[in-house]
Structure 1
Amino acid sequence: MINNRYELLEEIGSGGSATLYRAKDVVEERDVALKRYHPSIDCDNFDREKRVLQGLDHPAFPSYIDDFVSDDEFGETKTLVMDYVEGDTLAEHIERGYNFSSAELKDILLQGLDALEYLHTTKGRPIIHRDIKPENIKITDKGLVKFLDFGIVTDEMARTLGRTGFLGTVWYVAPEQFQGFAEEKSDVYSFGRTLFRAIVGDEYKREELDFSVLEGRNLHPNLISAVEGMTQEDIRQRRDVNGVREILEKQNLPAVVEMEIQKRSMKLHKNTIKVISGFCMKLAINSAYTYLFLPSHFKTREVFPKKSFRFRANNEVPIQWTGLAASVVSTIFGATMGQINPLLYLLVIPGVTNSIDLLRV
């Protein structure tokens, strides 16, 4: 029993500055997380993490419950008490080889962006986590994203003292952190690298990010673009929280779909021109065919006088419209004149010739 209240149940993890336990609060009858700082750790780290946790009020961060100092065999041990977060860390999911879908990754990213925005703007005092990595992000059973371990967090008060010194896990930290300073985009960079690791898994060993390895993973292009924007080495080119959201919220179709639409549009355009051209050509040929194969007495001056250029049947149908109608019908049905027009002649022309009343000039 620690501090006459907390019963240690299991060790969750251990780092260079502290060891984290799951414990039982026998007073409140609930599980809690105990972070016990090693006696050799500067008390400034403990005080800063305590101060930051006390000021946070967001579902993505653990809640501060208590703190105390106790004596043990190694000396005075400072302990922070926080609510215990159920679930597995991203690192545990990655270790099991879990294959995240685009929807799952986008949900994690959006929740994380909301958390970072809160962290960076809360009460007008930016708080920089500086150690975002798969081990420090937990996914609860309800799918909520939780950021853990504020042991090397820095806030505006700390940053006014000058450079923070290099702290963090090498593969995930932003380049500027190697120079001894950190800002809001530094957390964005680390979060982007964390998502990249969640996508590619533990088999990816290179220091530099190669986004070509994401090809064929059935991920939405906007998601890949967002991670690329987050992990730009040049901080001036790197996206901030709002910039990443803008990429995710774009309604662009996947590039493959856009290319396919463009190809089909071009094909449709070409086919339309081809059909219209073919129709006009067939119509011209069919019209000429109709004129050439009309009975010879329909081409006399008596039938087509210069001034009238028409004949009168019982219903006064102009002869040129009869031929044109035959041409259009044959063209629409895509048949040759030899297949359609003779039939039209047999059905239409004899009836017309039997009732013709010639106009003469």
Structure 2
Amino acid sequence: MLSAGQVLCDRYQLQKQLGHNAGRPTWLAMDTQTSPPTAVVVKLLAFNPQMQWDELKLFQREAQVLKNLNHPRIPKYLDYFSVDDVEADLEASSIDNENSDKSNVSGLPWFALVQEYIPGNSLKQLLDQGKQFKENQVRHFAEDLLNILIDLHELSPPVLHRDIKPSNLILGEDNQIYLVDFGAVQDKAKAEGVTFTVVGTSGYAPPEQLWGKAVPASDLYALGATLIHLLTGIPPSQLPQQRMQIKFRDKVKIEPNFANWIEQLIQPAPEKRLSTARQAFSALQSSLIPHHNQIPAQHSRRYVDDRYFDNDSGYGCGCLALLGIIGIGVILMPAFFWAFGDSSKIKQSEAKQYIGSMNRAQQAYFLEEGNFTDNIGELGLGISTETKNYTYSIHATILSSIHYSVSRKADLKSYVGGVFLGDAEETGELTTFAILCETKDKGTNRPPSPIVEDGMVQCAPGTESVDGENDRGIFLGEDWELVDVSANYAKAGEYTQALDTVETITEEGFKAKALQVIATELVAAGKPNQALRVTHSITDDSIKSKTIDAIAPYLTTATEYEQAVDVAETITNKLVKAKTLAVIAMELAAASGYDQALPIIEKVQAIALQLTDAGDYTQALRVTYNIPHDSIQSKTIQAIAPYLTTATEHEQAIQVAKTITDYQQKAKALDAIVRRLVATGNDERAVQIAQTIQSYYGGKEKAMAAIEGYKR
């Protein structure tokens, strides 16, 4: 095994082990090739036959994302390497070979990630030491972490951490908070139904993350759960829940507005949460801390105070008061200049920042939803359609979303941004590209949209790229214009010409988008049969599913429903197929009753059971989540429960069971899960779940008695 004194890669001398996860040790080391030698952190991953491939992919993704990040509150990436023969490497480099037991590592390849070392303690270490955090300290943690998340989430594409918790937050010796361990990072949002890697930590991870789905609001949930742990001293997994929401208010005495704000972060449904870090920061500032009056900066702030530690008198010293005044000055400066009629550049900076934010938010929206939105509110930025100096609007199509900032004053320039669907050359998949242009002249006219010629998007005549970026344009691919032509034919009702144009498109992703437009236009014209025939030709599972979802509400006859089921059956991804069948079943049930929809619902159940037989229990539970029938959903959970082994699988099953509305069916499903928890030695969690169905067990005492009965 690895031991202090050994040298890896002829450079990094191991000093002390910091983390003890099996197969994933973390060491404090000295970089011997710097002068003087500097302390670094070396994270190691042993690749072995028992490892799941996703573990290596996540480790490599962490290294790649960190390499491209440059943030003062995230330890810097320094190096990444692999050691093909650990035993040979250690024999050659070890200073103290006689203390090395190499029996466990011989012949195994290892991967190593080297980062900057941040001296300090994790918040979990402080909690374990009995540290009690006060409300003002926790607020400051929230502010600083939101500033980090703003920077990460507003990258293009967004970077999601996906594992925020006290052990991944370091309070440095410089009194700064640092975000560490990007082992669960997601460097781009994946379309629903494409990726199912489950990451995160139970109690801190939101419900959607248990299903492999993550959005920027997922990090906000984890932040909220972390703040609750700091305030209560109790891990969120040990706190009671009501309707899947953590209940904590009776455990703390904090300002009601602060508690309300935290509750907005931990809403179980992501659409009900504060949706972006910037929105969460603004809500926190406006409702809780009037003495700060700051907005999130583009780069994280650096502090020189000791405000994280107990200080009952607020800031407490003159230098901190001055810092507060400087902070207010930064924000009030634009208003000061405006009041005296100065600097159009300051007014224009609002428009540039807003359009840039709309571009990034629209990219994230597309990656999550598979389409663009023309509703500013759905971007979750809190941007008003009209401010003192500008009017904001969106024009979204199947291929692009154009964002306008039109000046309301004759002495200001206007701005236009755009997010365009394009072809990622390295993967051959559809991706998005953004452009931001400003008018060359001042005035109140709406700026022309970016233009696309020969597959290249660039600023239109009369406008220019902001800061000289993308002066030469962005190449979208030759198929982009063909999709545009096909869409225009479809909107004009010329469906044959639209389909003929589709045949000339080479990239399958663009072809699927074009067919989706045609199918959507056909159903809008009252031709669902033809729309379904077109949908049958779509090869992309996600786009085919979304198209069927759009058609389903317009189906009226038994033949049309059967046709829709037949098209859904051609979807290869089992989860996507199940979700699509569930949508058809719900539409049929609403129109004709559940008896008519039962055969379709049973098809969904059959998929869940097939996945169970194949040993893919997470996927089986995801499918079960979509079954729109309490009794069938409960029976499916009962069928899956005896095979569950991991804590994540147990939690997934519990979350699915809690969606059942009929109490008796819910109790039966939870009972099966409790039995499995007991069988796998998780008595504590079994008692917690048993208590949630007290009327079934007759209270805690009977729950305990039932659990003892299971053991016998």
Please classify the TM superposition score into its range, dividing by the shorter chain length: 0.5 to 0.7
- Contact 2:18 2:28 (C-alpha < 8 Å) held by counterparts: yes
Partners of 1:84 and 1:237 lie apart in 2 by 38
- Contact 1:225 1:247 (C-alpha < 8 Å) held by counterparts: no
Residue 38 of structure 1 is matched in structure 2 by 46
Partners of 2:62 and 2:288 lie apart in 1 by 42
Relative to structure 1, is the Cα distance of residues 194 and 14 closer, same or farther in structure 2, using a 3 angstrom cutoff?
same
The structural deviation recorded for 1:148 is 1.1
Report % sequence identity. Answer: 27
Secondary structure (helix, strand or coil) at the match of 2:133 reads coil
Supply the AA of the counterpart residue of 1:231: I
Relative to structure 1, is the Cα distance of residues 166 and 8 closer, same or farther in structure 2, using a 3 angstrom cutoff?
same
| Farther-moved stretch of structure 1 (140-149 vs 15-24) | 15-24
Q: What does 1:74-93 correspond to in 2, within 5 Å?
A: 74-93=107-126
Match of 1:212 among 244, 249, 256: 249
Matched, 1:170 2:222: no
Question: Looking at CA atoms only, which structure, 1 or 2, has the larger radius of gyration?
Answer: 1
Partners of 2:118 and 2:230 lie apart in 1 by 20
Matched, 1:246 2:259: no
Relative to structure 1, is the Cα distance of residues 161 and 64 closer, same or farther in structure 2, using a 3 angstrom cutoff?
farther
Residue 201 of structure 1 is matched in structure 2 by 233
Matched, 1:227 2:262: yes
- Contact 2:25 2:43 (C-alpha < 8 Å) held by counterparts: yes
Residue 146 of structure 1 is matched in structure 2 by 178
Partners of 1:34 and 1:50 lie apart in 2 by 12
| Farther-moved stretch of structure 1 (232-241 vs 15-24) | 15-24
- Contact 2:192 2:213 (C-alpha < 8 Å) held by counterparts: no
Supply the AA of the counterpart residue of 1:77: W
Match of 2:13 among 7, 20, 45: 7
The structural deviation recorded for 1:246 is 2.8
Residue 184 of structure 1 is matched in structure 2 by 216
The structural deviation recorded for 1:118 is 1.1
Question: Any unmatched runs of 5+ in structure 1?
Answer: 255-361
Q: What does 1:109-124 correspond to in 2, within 5 Å?
A: 109-122=142-155, 124=156
Aligned Cα RMSD in Å? Answer: 2.3
The structural deviation recorded for 1:160 is 8.5
- Contact 1:89 1:135 (C-alpha < 8 Å) held by counterparts: yes
The structural deviation recorded for 1:45 is 2.1
Relative to structure 1, is the Cα distance of residues 238 and 115 closer, same or farther in structure 2, using a 3 angstrom cutoff?
same
Partners of 1:244 and 1:27 lie apart in 2 by 43
Partners of 1:120 and 1:16 lie apart in 2 by 31
Question: Any unmatched runs of 5+ in structure 2?
Answer: 1-6, 87-105, 291-712
Relative to structure 1, is the Cα distance of residues 56 and 88 closer, same or farther in structure 2, using a 3 angstrom cutoff?
same
Say how many residue pairs are matched.
251
Match of 1:68 among 81, 89, 98: 81
Supply the AA of the counterpart residue of 1:24: M
Secondary structure (helix, strand or coil) at the match of 1:232 reads coil
Partners of 1:199 and 1:167 lie apart in 2 by 25
Secondary structure (helix, strand or coil) at the match of 1:33 reads strand
Partners of 1:252 and 1:48 lie apart in 2 by 37
The structural deviation recorded for 1:6 is 0.9
For CA contacts below 8 A with separation 6 or more, give which structure has more relative contact order: 1
Supply the AA of the counterpart residue of 1:27: Q
Secondary structure (helix, strand or coil) at the match of 2:27 reads strand
Q: Deviations over 1:220-240 (max 9, x none)?
A: 333322211111111111113
Matched, 1:50 2:56: no
Relative to structure 1, is the Cα distance of residues 77 and 203 closer, same or farther in structure 2, using a 3 angstrom cutoff?
closer
The structural deviation recorded for 1:3 is 1.1
Matched, 1:100 2:133: yes
- Contact 1:99 1:199 (C-alpha < 8 Å) held by counterparts: yes
Matched, 1:24 2:30: yes
Supply the AA of the counterpart residue of 2:239: R
- Contact 1:165 1:177 (C-alpha < 8 Å) held by counterparts: no
- Contact 2:141 2:177 (C-alpha < 8 Å) held by counterparts: yes
Partners of 2:80 and 2:24 lie apart in 1 by 14
| Farther-moved stretch of structure 1 (166-175 vs 194-203) | 194-203
Supply the AA of the counterpart residue of 1:246: S
The structural deviation recorded for 1:27 is 1.5
Supply the AA of the counterpart residue of 2:162: R
Q: Deviations over 1:61-119 (max 9, x none)?
A: 11100111112125111101000011111101111221212221111101100111111
Relative to structure 1, is the Cα distance of residues 45 and 161 closer, same or farther in structure 2, using a 3 angstrom cutoff?
farther
- Contact 1:222 1:247 (C-alpha < 8 Å) held by counterparts: no
TM-score by length of 1: 0.65
TM-score by length of 2: 0.34
The structural deviation recorded for 1:251 is 5.3
Supply the AA of the counterpart residue of 1:126: P
